[in-house]
């Protein structure tokens, strides 16, 4: 079953100021209302996606309901007044630059929500990389359920180490019609998009993506010794927005006939596909710091936990770089007592972050006096871990291919497994789609 569908993308009418039109994903800068206030000053009354989204910094505020009403009214007005207009059906090839060595290449498509599931234990072709917190869906559903227009900030990942799908398209981008080319506000860099019209090219793209989950290709790529559910695409960013789209579709389809369900616009969700091997993607580990912990007790609990899960464990009193391979996951530990190295051999988990987090979740559930924080930089970990009662845990670098094998073997990755770009590098709203 093919996950992809060719959308009819809607874009602002010619002459619209796209710098003001496009704003960053609503789930960014959630603790910085001043960022969104600056966006409002920049945009004013100009046509903008800002008027069609609810920045999550305002979730739970006194004006949440009023803002949602304004969003729905704006969507309807933009359609009626032809502020946005439909393009011919096709995919959008996207190039996003941030002033770094490489631009990010992507492809805006529609995915079939019938091939996606966010529930724990899902075996669907499209799955989240991290656990979905279902309590986060209802407030987002208020915006989505009766919306007439969809704006995507979801990024899906494909595991294409040969760079055989998106990259060749970018090499011949000038053969396609350029639809937009603009700078982005608030240090968002630059973005350009080319329409790939529905036809032989889009058919070939869909076949190539589907081939990534061919059972034989899948088994060989991940060196699997038993059957695992096939995985075609993994949600990299916007997991809760995609879960909200799924929840809305499940509500809508209850009142539809089988025939109506086949092509109802709410069944499909606009997303940008990015190759996890894209040179622009910087996948970094997120380290852990424990506070108020007894080291000896923690180490004893770790040895017991891993042995109960069929793993051999070694604890060395030495400084060693964290590393991971198929036979062992090694973590560098640091406290006021110095460095140690925890090695878990023949790990039962597909990725090092799952190996350590599964134990920490178990330990912290029994030790309410301890708490954990998730830290990006090594220097910060060492600074915090040097204080009495604290312990820093440095994780190995995350190999891009490991993201998929972790989802394949472990279901979803543990929270705070990896970081994928800074806030201003997240997807900006540009394309639209009619939902009704």
pLDDT tens per residue across span 106-146 = 999 999 999 999 988 889 999 998 878 888 899 899 999 99
Same domain, 184 and 246: yes
User: What pLDDT sits at residue 411?
Assistant: 79
Same domain, 150 and 258: yes
Same domain, 259 and 291: no
Same domain, 350 and 215: no
Contacts of 150 (CB under 8 A, 6+ apart): 144, 245, 269, 270, 432, 433, 434, 435
Q: Provide the pairing of β-strand 177-184 with 268-275.
A: unpaired
User: What pLDDT sits at residue 423?
Assistant: 83
User: What pLDDT sits at residue 80?
Assistant: 97
Same domain, 204 and 300: no
Same domain, 426 and 377: no
User: What pLDDT sits at residue 63?
Assistant: 82
Span 259-270, mean pLDDT? 97
Span 195-200, mean pLDDT? 98
Total tally of structural domains belonging to the chain: 2
Q: How confident is the model at residue 62 (pLDDT cuts 50, 70, 90)?
A: confident
Residue 421 has pLDDT above 80, yes or no: no
Q: How confident is the model at residue 30 (pLDDT cuts 50, 70, 90)?
A: confident
Q: Provide the pairing of β-strand 268-275 with 155-158.
A: parallel
Q: How confident is the model at residue 97 (pLDDT cuts 50, 70, 90)?
A: very high
User: What pLDDT sits at residue 131?
Assistant: 79
Same domain, 414 and 430: no
Weakest mean pLDDT among 164-173, 224-233, 388-397, 407-416: 407-416
Same domain, 41 and 132: yes
Percent of the chain whose pLDDT exceeds 70: 100
Span 398-411, mean pLDDT? 83
Whole domain around residue 257: which residue ranges?
4-282+421-434
User: What pLDDT sits at residue 412?
Assistant: 79
**Per-residue pLDDT tens over the stretch 341-396:** 999 999 998 889 989 999 999 999 999 999 998 887 899 899 999 999 999 999 99
**Average pLDDT over the chain, rounded to an integer:** 94
- Report d(CA 112, CA 212) in Å as an integer: 17
Q: How confident is the model at residue 413 (pLDDT cuts 50, 70, 90)?
A: confident
Same domain, 13 and 133: yes
Contact (Cβ atoms closer than 8 angstroms) between residue 397 and residue 305: no
Tell the residue number behind the tokens 């007439």, with chain if given. Answer: 148
Helix 64-80 vs helix 137-144: angle between axes, to the nearest 10 degrees?
30
């Amino acid at each position: 079953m093919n996950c992809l569908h060719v959308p009819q993308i809607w874009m602002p009418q010619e002459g619209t100021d796209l710098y003001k039109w496009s704003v960053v994903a609503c789930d960014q800068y959630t603790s910085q209302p001043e960022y969104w206030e600056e966006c409002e000053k920049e945009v004013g009354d100009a046509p903008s996606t800002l008027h069609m989204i609810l920045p999550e910094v305002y979730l739970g505020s006194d004006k949440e309901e009023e803002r949602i009403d304004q969003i729905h009214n704006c969507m309807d007005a933009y359609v009626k007044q032809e502020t946005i207009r439909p393009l011919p059906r096709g995919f959008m090839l996207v190039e996003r630059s941030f002033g770094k060595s490489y631009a990010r290449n992507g492809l805006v498509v529609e995915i079939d929500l019938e091939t996606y599931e966010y529930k724990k234990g899902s075996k669907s072709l499209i799955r989240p990389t991290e656990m979905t917190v279902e309590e986060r869906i209802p407030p987002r559903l208020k915006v989505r359920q009766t919306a007439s227009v969809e704006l995507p900030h979801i990024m899906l990942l494909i595991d294409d180490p040969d760079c055989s799908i998106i990259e060749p398209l970018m090499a011949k981008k000038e053969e396609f019609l350029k639809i937009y080319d603009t700078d982005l506000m608030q240090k968002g860099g630059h973005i350009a998009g080319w329409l790939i019209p529905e036809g032989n090219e889009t058919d070939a793209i869909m076949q190539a993506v589907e081939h990534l989950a061919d059972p034989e290709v899948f088994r060989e790529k991940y060196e699997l010794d038993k059957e695992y559910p096939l995985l075609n695409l993994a949600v990299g960013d916007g997991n809760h927005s995609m879960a909200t789209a799924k929840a809305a579709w499940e509500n809508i389809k209850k009142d539809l006939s089988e025939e109506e369900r086949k092509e109802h616009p709410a069944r499909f969700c606009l997303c940008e596909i990015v190759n996890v091997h894209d040179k622009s993607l910087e996948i970094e580990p997120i380290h852990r710091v424990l506070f108020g912990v007894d080291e000896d007790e923690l180490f004893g609990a770790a040895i017991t936990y891993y042995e109960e899960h069929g793993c051999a464990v070694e604890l060395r009193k030495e400084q060693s770089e964290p590393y991971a391979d198929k036979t062992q996951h090694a973590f560098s530990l640091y406290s006021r007592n110095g460095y140690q190295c925890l090695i878990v051999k023949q790990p039962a988990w597909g990725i090092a972050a799952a190996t350590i987090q599964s134990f920490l979740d178990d330990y912290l559930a029994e030790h309410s006096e301890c708490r954990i924080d998730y830290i990006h930089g090594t220097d910060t970990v060492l600074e915090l871990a040097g204080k009495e009662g604290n312990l820093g845990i440095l994780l190995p670098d995350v190999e891009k291919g490991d993201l998929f094998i972790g989802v394949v073997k472990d279901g979803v990755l543990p929270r705070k497994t990896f970081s994928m770009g800074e806030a201003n590098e997240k997807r900006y709203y540009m394309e639209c789609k009619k939902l009704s």
